[in-house]
């Protein structure tokens, strides 16, 4: 029997999942769950790295002896080590405002078309590139002390075993990696005076980098999205995927990156998958809108469960008001319901007043944005998609899955819920020689994991609303067509 431990970190919580593989059968259980509580410290919004690390050690203790362990996290964020190998400060959160205005400033050194052509990464101000530019400009003394950059999953591995390595999938979120050669873009590093020595050696997904208490420490697919896609059950032909959590990442697997000007204008991104293929996708603000709205209502003294919010949404009038989830005002923490109302007011729509109306607006807007993103993928690749495979926490949200099927007009196949942790486990098993390939792991998932299929219902009823939605996006000037 092989026992492996997957640490899966999300923006609001983390889990330790223990996987066991024997005689071709896979079982798994959660052995530890903990909150991820970023906070303001030293002038920035930061991750509490010591607390995260303490929970890693506790999770490993609860799991007992294992053959290996690995980490996956969100993308773009990193920690900095000094020349003595000490962490200089708690990693800054991607929602910190230090990168405001730096995207446009960066274009003076490398125009948008050239930057996209070099990296294939959707240009977002949260990207690691802009975080490094913020350091250069705002904290030059810290920049001078920085000897080594480690992205979050690699930083956690370093804290356990001392290894300094940079796994490729997480590096591909940074806007610093050349997706063709899967090496650092010399054009980008040169344009922004970033020394290549700052980065640890690149390693492929599934590389053993060290040891912790007798267990191999493996660089899985450090980016959680790529772990989830690795666990995509043997997919239907021409299916797109939607990794649905705090962020929604909607895309498809390709053999080669798409680096065209059209791709840049559409805001599509080329990330490296655990199998070395390109995952061509759109980053969309996802369940964050629901999570942060719930927190806002709690701050106002109103406590709702997610089931309450879904019920209230169902009771509200359908297809009344819509937002663009990716409008910049929805990214920072705070009063999301108030911002939803402001967006609707500004774009001349009925203003959602009740909790149910706000929730209905958010749910329907996510479904509409998923359809819009599928259209963009088709524009850029020429592919027509026959189904949408939803992975991760969003698979538990039946209302969102039903709306997405109805809006897109194609079946939604939801599951597995634990796709990210399962992908992490599969990559470890492959590294240990228990599986031959990611494809074999996907066949295992297809055989053992439950999925739910949602057929499109009332697709025609969404057609007029989709035309309205495109008009709203044009009016808000938040998307390119």
pLDDT on residue 235: 66
323: left (phi over 0), alpha (psi -120 to 50) or beta: beta
- Percent of the chain beyond pLDDT 90? 95
Q: Average pLDDT in the 393-414 region?
A: 96
**Per-residue pLDDT tens over the stretch 241-265:** 999 999 999 999 999 999 999 999 9
Indicate if the pLDDT at residue 156 is higher than 90. Answer: yes
Query: Is 326 tagged catalytic?
Result: no
pLDDT on residue 481: 75
Q: What is the rounded CA–CA span in Å between residue 82 and residue 414?
A: 44
Q: Average pLDDT in the 54-61 region?
A: 99
- Smallest Cα–Cα separation from 18: which of 390, 428, 392? 428
**Per-residue pLDDT tens over the stretch 228-242:** 999 999 767 789 999
Q: What is the rounded CA–CA span in Å between residue 269 and residue 279?
A: 8
pLDDT on residue 477: 77
pTM of the model: 0.93
Beta-sheet strands, E only, within 10-162: 13-22, 25-35, 39-41, 44-46, 68-72, 78-81, 148-151
Q: Which domains does the chain have, with CATH numbers?
A: 2-223 (3.30.420.40), 234-415+451-481 (3.30.420.40)
Indicate if the pLDDT at residue 460 is higher than 90. Answer: no
Q: What is the rounded CA–CA span in Å between residue 321 and residue 324?
A: 11
Tokens (6 digits) for 346: 């500004």
CB atoms within 10 A of CB 156: 26
55: DSSP letter: H
207-212: strand order across its sheet: 25-35, 13-22, 2-9, 68-72, 215-219, 207-212
The angle at the Cα of 94, spanning 93 to 99, to the nearest 5 degrees, equals 115
Q: Average pLDDT in the 424-453 region?
A: 96
Q: What is the rounded CA–CA span in Å between residue 73 and residue 59?
A: 16
Q: Average pLDDT in the 63-79 region?
A: 99
pLDDT on residue 478: 77
Indicate if the pLDDT at residue 430 is higher than 70. Answer: yes
Q: Cβ-count burial of 325 within 10 angstroms (0-12 exposed, 13-18 middle, 19+ buried)?
A: buried
Q: Average pLDDT in the 58-75 region?
A: 99
Q: b/e for 407-428, b at 16 or more Cβ within 10 A?
A: bbebbbbbbbbbbbbbbbbbbb
**Per-residue pLDDT tens over the stretch 167-223:** 999 999 999 999 999 999 999 999 999 999 999 999 999 999 999 999 999 999 999
The catalytic position among 8, 67, 96, 224 is: 224
């Amino acid at each position: 029997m092989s026992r492996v431990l997957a640490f899966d970190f999300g923006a609001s919580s983390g889990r330790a999942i223990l996987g066991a593989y024997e005689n071709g059968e896979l079982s798994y259980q959660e052995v530890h769950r903990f909150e991820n509580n970023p906070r303001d410290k030293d002038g920035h919004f930061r991750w509490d790295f010591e607390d995260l690390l303490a929970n890693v050690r506790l999770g490993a203790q609860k799991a007992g002896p294992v053959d290996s362990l690995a980490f996956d996290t969100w993308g773009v964020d990193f920690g900095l080590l000094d020349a003595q190998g000490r962490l200089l400060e708690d990693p800054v959160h991607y929602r910190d405002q230090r990168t405001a205005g730096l995207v446009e400033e960066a274009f003076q050194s490398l125009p948008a078309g050239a930057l996209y052509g070099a990296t294939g990464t959707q240009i977002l101000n949260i990207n690691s590139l802009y975080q490094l530019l913020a350091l250069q400009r705002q904290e030059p003394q810290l920049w001078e002390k920085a000897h080594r950059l480690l992205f979050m999953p690699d930083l956690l591995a370093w804290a356990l075993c001392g290894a300094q390595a940079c796994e490729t999938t997480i590096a591909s979120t940074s806007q610093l990696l050349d997706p063709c050669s899967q090496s650092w873009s010399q054009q980008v590093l040169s344009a922004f005076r970033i020394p290549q020595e700052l980065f640890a050696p690149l390693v492929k997904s599934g590389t053993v980098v060290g040891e912790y208490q007798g267990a191999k420490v493996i660089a899985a697919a450090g980016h959680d999205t790529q772990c989830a896609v690795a666990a995509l059950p043997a997919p239907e032909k021409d299916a797109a995927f939607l990794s649905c959590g705090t962020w929604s990442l909607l895309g498809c697997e390709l053999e080669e990156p798409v680096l065209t000007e059209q791709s840049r204008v559409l805001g599509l991104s080329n990330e490296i998958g655990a199998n070395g293929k390109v995952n061509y996708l759109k980053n969309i603000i996802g369940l964050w809108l629901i999570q942060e709205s719930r927190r806002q209502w709690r701050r106002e003294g109103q406590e709702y469960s997610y089931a309450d919010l879904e019920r209230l949404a169902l009771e509200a009038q359908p297809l009344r008001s819509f937002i663009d989830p990716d409008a910049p005002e929805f990214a920072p923490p705070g009063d999301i319901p108030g911002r939803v109302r402001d967006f609707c007011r500004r774009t001349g729509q009925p203003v959602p007043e009740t909790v149910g109306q706000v929730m209905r607006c958010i749910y329907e807007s996510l479904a509409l944005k998923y359809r819009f993103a599928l259209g963009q993928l088709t524009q850029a690749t020429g592919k027509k998609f026959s189904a949408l495979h939803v992975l991760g926490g969003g698979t538990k949200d039946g209302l969102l899955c039903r709306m997405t099927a109805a809006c897109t007009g194609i079946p939604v196949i939801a599951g597995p819920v634990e796709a990210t942790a399962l992908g992490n486990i599969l990559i470890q098993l492959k590294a240990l020689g228990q599986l031959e390939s990611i494809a074999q792991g996907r066949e295992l998932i297809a055989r053992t994991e439950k999925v739910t299929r949602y057929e499109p219902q009332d697709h025609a009823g969404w057609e007029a609303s989709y035309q309205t939605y495109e008009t709203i996006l044009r009016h808000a000037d938040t998307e390119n067509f």
